[in-house]
Amino acid sequence: MPRSHEWGEVRASVADSEVEGERTERETVFADPVGATFTLEKSIVPVRVETGSGWTRPDATLVRREDGGSYGRRLQQ
């Protein structure tokens, strides 16, 4: 559910608006213009990764670590 300070921004729109405060790596929430209903889009895989400066698309390119292991370039926070 959107926080109270987000309602004004959502209601001012004429189209469904994303409730950015509810965004996660796998979920996106939209509110209708009146704010009466919400739509949740949920993915079984990450559709975005949070970085220090915002969100970006995941990048599963493997990067080798010094210890010989590997990790996805933008799958770790």
Structure confidence at residue 23 (pLDDT):
94
Q: Return the DSSP state at 44.
A: S
Q: Which amino acid belongs to residue 46? A: P
Residue with tokens 């979920």: 27
CB of 31 closer than 8 Å to CB of 2? yes
The span from the CA of 11 to the CA of 3, in Å, is 13
> pTM surpassing 0.75?
no
Structure confidence at residue 77 (pLDDT):
43
In this predicted model, what pLDDT tens digit does every residue of 54-64 receive, in sequence order?
898 888 888 89
